Structure 1
Amino acid sequence: MNGNVTKVLLVDDQAIVIEGMRRMLADRPELCFEAEQDPAAAVEAARRFEPDVILQDLVMPEVDGFDLLRAYRRTSGLADVPVIVLSSREEGATKAEAFERGADDYLVKMPEAVELLARIRIHVERRRAMLEQRRARRRLEEANRDIARLNEQIETEKESIELGAQRDRERLAAITTLGADLNRYQDFELLLDRILLEARTCCDAEAGAIYTITGDRLECNHIQNEKVENRGDHFFTHRMSRSLSLESVAGTVALTGRAIRVEDAYSIPPELDCSYDTGRDLDSGYRTKALLSLPLRTRDGKIRGVLQLANPGGEDAGLPFTDEDQQIIEHFAGLATVAIERTAMTRALVMRMIAMAEVRDPTETGTHVQRVAGYSTVLYDAWAVRHGVSDVEREKNRDRLRTAAMLHDVGKVGIPDAILKKPGRLDDAEFAHMQRHAVIGARLFRGMRTDFDDVAREVALHHHERWDGTGYPGPIEPDAALEPSETPTRVGLAGAEIPLFARIVGLADVYDALSTARAYKASWPEDRVLEVIREESGKHFDPELVEILMECVEDFREVRARYAD
Structure 2
Amino acid sequence: MEIVLWGVRGSISSPSPTTQFYGANTTCIEVRTDNNDLLIFDAGSGLHHLGTTLPDSGVCHLFLSHGHADHIQGLGFFKPIHNPNWTIHVYVPASLKRVVKNFFDGKTFPVMFKQLRSKIVQHIVTPGKVINVSKRKNNPIKVKPFLGNHPGGSVAYKVYADESVFLYSGDHEITSDPVVRSNTFELLSRIDVAVVDAAYGKDDYHEGWGHSKWEDWVELAARAKVPCLVLSHHMQDRSDKELDDLQDTVMPKTSGSSDLYNRVYVAKEGLRFIPKKDTSFIPQRSDWMFEFVENLGIHKDESIILDRILATSREITQADAGTVFLVENNQLVFAYTHNDTLFPADSSYKHAYVNVRLPISLDSIAGYVASTGKTLNIPDVETLPKDLPYHFNDSFDKATGYQSKSMLVMPFFDRNKNLLGVLQLINSINPRSKKIQAFDINMENNVRLLAREAANVLEISGILRKNIYRMLKVIAIHDPTETGPHAERVGAISAELYQRWAEKHQKTPDEIRFFKGQIRLASMLHDVGKVGISDLILKKKARLTEEEYITMRNHTRLGASLLSSETKDITELAHDVALHHHQKWNGQGYVGSDDSDRLEGTSIPLVARIAAIADVFDALVSSRCYKNAWSFEEARLFLNREAGQHFDPLLVECFNDIFDLIHKIYERFPDVATA
Q: Which category describes the TM-score, using the shorter chain as reference length?
A: 0.5 to 0.7
Q: Which amino acid aligns with 2:454?
A: A
1:471 to partner: Cα distance: 0.9
* Distance in 2, Cα, partners of 1:464 & 1:236: 28
Structure 2 equivalent of residue 503 of structure 1: 612
Worse-superposed segment, 404-413 or 539-548: 539-548
* Equivalent residues in 2 for 1:357-372, closer than 5 Å: 357-359=475-477, 362=478, 364-365=479-480, 370-371=485-486
Structure 1 equivalent of residue 370 of structure 2: 254
Q: Does 1:311 align with 2:428?
A: yes
Q: SS at the partner of 1:436?
A: helix
Q: SS at the partner of 1:209?
A: strand
* Equivalent residues in 2 for 1:108-187, closer than 5 Å: 139=137, 141-142=139-140, 148-149=160-161, 151=166, 155=194, 161=233, 164-165=267-268, 170=284, 172-181=286-295, 183-187=297-301
1:254 to partner: Cα distance: 1.2
1:372 to partner: Cα distance: 6.8
Using a 3 Å threshold, how does the CA distance of structure 1 residues 424 and 333 change in structure 2: closer, same or farther? Answer: same
Using a 3 Å threshold, how does the CA distance of structure 1 residues 460 and 264 change in structure 2: closer, same or farther? Answer: same
Structure 1 equivalent of residue 382 of structure 2: 266
Q: Structure 2 residue aligned with 1:354, among 468, 472, 478?
A: 472
* Distance in 1, Cα, partners of 2:315 & 2:168: 24
Structure 1 equivalent of residue 547 of structure 2: 426
* Equivalent residues in 2 for 1:28-39, closer than 5 Å: none
* Distance in 1, Cα, partners of 2:349 & 2:559: 40
* Distance in 1, Cα, partners of 2:530 & 2:611: 17
* Equivalent residues in 2 for 1:236-247, closer than 5 Å: 238-239=351-352, 240=354, 241-244=356-359, 245-247=361-363
Unaligned stretches of 5+ residues in structure 1? 1-136, 474-484
* Equivalent residues in 2 for 1:376-395, closer than 5 Å: none
**Contact 1:411–1:438 at 8 Å: present in 2 too?**
yes
* Equivalent residues in 2 for 1:2-401, closer than 5 Å: 139=137, 141-142=139-140, 148-149=160-161, 151=166, 155=194, 161=233, 164-165=267-268, 170=284, 172-181=286-295, 183-205=297-319, 207-224=321-338, 234=347, 238-239=351-352, 240=354, 241-244=356-359, 245-278=361-394, 287-309=403-425, 310-311=427-428, 313-314=430-431, 316=434, 319-359=437-477, 362=478, 364-365=479-480, 370-371=485-486, 374=489
**Contact 1:260–1:294 at 8 Å: present in 2 too?**
yes
Structure 2 equivalent of residue 463 of structure 1: 581
Worse-superposed segment, 491-500 or 238-247: 491-500
1:212 to partner: Cα distance: 1.4
* Distance in 1, Cα, partners of 2:618 & 2:139: 74
Paired residues, number: 402
Aligned-residue identity in percent: 23
TM-score by length of 1: 0.53
Deviations 1:341-397 (A, max 9, x none): 2233222211111223345xx3x22655645765886899899999999xx999999
Structure 1 equivalent of residue 598 of structure 2: 491
Q: SS at the partner of 2:382?
A: coil
Q: SS at the partner of 1:338?
A: helix
Q: Which amino acid aligns with 2:325?
A: Y
**Contact 2:379–2:438 at 8 Å: present in 1 too?**
yes
Q: Which amino acid aligns with 2:428?
A: N
Deviations 1:398-454 (A, max 9, x none): 9987765542211244668999899965279857755523533563567316xxx77
1:287 to partner: Cα distance: 4.9
Q: SS at the partner of 1:349?
A: helix
* Distance in 2, Cα, partners of 1:447 & 1:266: 50
Using a 3 Å threshold, how does the CA distance of structure 1 residues 194 and 424 change in structure 2: closer, same or farther? Answer: same
* Distance in 2, Cα, partners of 1:205 & 1:557: 30
Q: SS at the partner of 1:148?
A: strand
Worse-superposed segment, 298-307 or 148-157: 148-157
**Contact 2:472–2:483 at 8 Å: present in 1 too?**
no
Q: Which amino acid aligns with 1:410?
A: V
* Distance in 2, Cα, partners of 1:560 & 1:251: 25
Using a 3 Å threshold, how does the CA distance of structure 1 residues 384 and 139 change in structure 2: closer, same or farther? Answer: closer
* Distance in 2, Cα, partners of 1:237 & 1:382: 12
Worse-superposed segment, 430-439 or 329-338: 430-439
TM-score by length of 2: 0.46
* Distance in 1, Cα, partners of 2:334 & 2:494: 24
* Distance in 1, Cα, partners of 2:554 & 2:583: 16
**Contact 2:485–2:671 at 8 Å: present in 1 too?**
no
1:296 to partner: Cα distance: 0.9
Structure 2 equivalent of residue 17 of structure 1: none
Structure that is richer in helix per residue: 1
* Distance in 2, Cα, partners of 1:564 & 1:534: 33
* Distance in 1, Cα, partners of 2:673 & 2:513: 22
Unaligned stretches of 5+ residues in structure 2? 1-134, 145-158, 170-193, 198-230, 235-265, 272-282
Q: SS at the partner of 1:210?
A: strand
Q: SS at the partner of 1:253?
A: helix
Structure that is richer in strand per residue: 2
Worse-superposed segment, 257-266 or 269-278: 269-278
Q: Which amino acid aligns with 1:330?
A: R
Using a 3 Å threshold, how does the CA distance of structure 1 residues 462 and 327 change in structure 2: closer, same or farther? Answer: same
Using a 3 Å threshold, how does the CA distance of structure 1 residues 237 and 467 change in structure 2: closer, same or farther? Answer: closer
* Distance in 2, Cα, partners of 1:494 & 1:305: 44
**Contact 1:408–1:441 at 8 Å: present in 2 too?**
no
Q: SS at the partner of 1:472?
A: coil
